[in-house]
Amino acid sequence: MASWTDRFWYSAEGIRLHYRNYEGPRDKPPILCIPGLTRNARDFEPVAERYAGDWRILCVDLRGRGMSDNDPDPSRYTPQFYVADIMKLLDQEGIADAVFMGTSLGGICTMLLASSDADRIAGAMLNDIGPEIDQTGIDRIGGYVGREVKFGSWEEAADTLEDRNREVFPHWQKDDWERFAQRIMHETSDGIAFQYDMRIAENFRAATEGPQGANWHLYECLAGRPVTILRGELSDLLAPDIAGQMVERLNGDAELVVVPAVGHTPNLEEPESQGAMDRLLKRVMDREED
């Protein structure tokens, strides 16, 4: 496994936030990885395994997730605050621009950041997310987010995840589910639990109660830089027609890659995902050299 150091920074409100730092050269943009709603920095272990050493990689825990502290005010669990946190990290580290890899919520943060600070984005991968979101996926996520569950063993946790998510990863084997459990859960004094503040569900449900508006104006701020759109073939969050429109709207700057037999979201270990990331990073470097 690629080695990293655990590092920290602080939000404007004084919340201690965590990121994994995988060292790499400082003469090209680093890779900045932003996880999904209930996930954490460990989601990007496949990215680190593939690129650490050749690229510097920073994998963040958003406030209320992983090793970052919970926010005492859960009303601040919103993309606007996450983006402000990320900007503080970039400034702390003296990073002018980065290759953003955002899964689901992380992709929303990437688009939002592009709307105000597009120059900080050297390239972007949006993992199974777009400017319009399918209600089916929102309803599914709303069915589990914020529901605290404890498990007596890692085997029980992995079995439960498989029962709940078999349609997302229909070809996964037992060791895949065990690795998945290890990435999204941790051991507590009461048992094995999901590693996020259950109160993030409050804002998620409030924001997704009614019809969802489109955010094409945010997405189009990525124009002029390399963009990769990953879509799980079985995704219930990013519809095929929206993914196709995303390619058209950026006039040649975006590549769409559909990862077969996977739902929301590709876990970045699939050959198709890895090939897509390879091509994105090559496009970034080609642009840097122009």
**Whether residue 62 sits in one domain with residue 187:** no
Kindly tell me if the per-residue pLDDT of 286 is higher than 70: yes
Tell me the residue range of the domain where 246 lies. Answer: 5-142+214-289
**Whether residue 153 sits in one domain with residue 136:** no
pLDDT tens per residue, range 241-277:
999 999 999 988 999 999 999 999 999 999 999 999 9
CA atoms of 51 and 62, how far apart (whole Å): 22
Residue 211 tokens read as 């019809």
Q: Which percentage of the chain shows pLDDT scores above 90?
A: 87
CA atoms of 103 and 105, how far apart (whole Å): 6
Residue 163 tokens read as 């029962």
DSSP 8-class letter at 52: B
**Whether residue 39 sits in one domain with residue 171:** no
* Residue 59: its H or E element: strand 57-61
Q: Is 191 exposed, middle or buried (0-12, 13-18, 19+ CB in 10 A)?
A: middle
**Whether residue 92 sits in one domain with residue 218:** yes
Amino acid letter, 257? V
**Whether residue 236 sits in one domain with residue 283:** yes
Q: How many CB atoms lie within 10 A of CB 290?
A: 5
pLDDT tens per residue, range 48-64:
999 999 999 999 999 99
Question: Structurally, how many domains does the chain consist of?
Answer: 2
Residue at 138 is within a domain: yes
Residue at 40 is within a domain: yes
**Whether residue 221 sits in one domain with residue 118:** yes
Residue at 70 is within a domain: yes
Kindly tell me if the per-residue pLDDT of 144 is higher than 90: no
Residue at 203 is within a domain: no
For 58, how many CA atoms within 13 A lie in the half-sphere containing its CB?
23
Kindly tell me if the per-residue pLDDT of 211 is higher than 70: no
Q: What is the pLDDT of residue 210?
A: 61
**Whether residue 80 sits in one domain with residue 49:** yes
**Whether residue 223 sits in one domain with residue 264:** yes
Residue at 202 is within a domain: no
Kindly tell me if the per-residue pLDDT of 212 is higher than 70: no
